[in-house]
Structure 1
Amino acid sequence: MSALPVESFIVKRTEFLVVAKEADVVAHARDVAEFFGFNSEFFSSAESLASEAESKTSPLVVFISLLEYADQEQMLGAVRHVHGIYARSQVIVTIRGNESSEDRQQLRLAGVHRFILHHEMQTSSKFYYLCSLLVHGTYLPVPVTDLFPGTAVDFNGFHKLPINQNFLPVIFAGFVFSDKKYRRLESVKQVYVKREELNRYRKYIEAYHDNRGNALKKRCRAMMMSLMGSYTELILLLSLDADHHQETLQAQLDQFADTAVSLGDYLKDCPDTFNVIAQSLEFQFCKHERGPYVLAYALFIAQSCGITSLKEIIMAALLSDLGLLELPPTCYRQLQSRGALMLEPNDMEKYQHHPMSSLNRAMLRELPLSDEIKSILVCTHERADEKGFPNQVPADKLPFESQLIHFCKILDGRVRSA
Structure 2
Amino acid sequence: MSRGARAIVICPDIRGAKHDLDAASRLEEACGLALAIGIVVAEAFVLPVRDVKPNTLFGSGQVQTIADKCELELAELVVVDGALSPIQQRNLEDKLKRKVIDRTGLILEIFGERAATAEGRLQVELAHLDYQQSRLVRSWTHLERQRGGFGFLGGPGETQIEADRRMIRQRMARLRKELEQVRRTRALHRERRNRAPWPVIALVGYTNAGKSTLFNRLTDADVMAEDLLFATLDPTMRAIRLPGVEKAILSDTVGFISDLPTQLVAAFRATLEEVTAADVIVHVRDIASPATAAQKSQVLEVLAELGVTGGEDEESPIPIIEAWNKWDLLDPERADDLADIAAAADDIVPISAIDGTGMDNLIAALDRLLTASSRIYHITLPVGEGQKLAWLHAHGQVMSEKDAGEGDNGPLREFEVRLSPKEFGRFAQL
Q: Same fold (TM over 0.5)?
A: no
Structure with greater helix share of residues: 1
Which of 1 and 2 has greater Rg?
A: 2
Q: TM-score with structure 2 length normalisation? A: 0.30
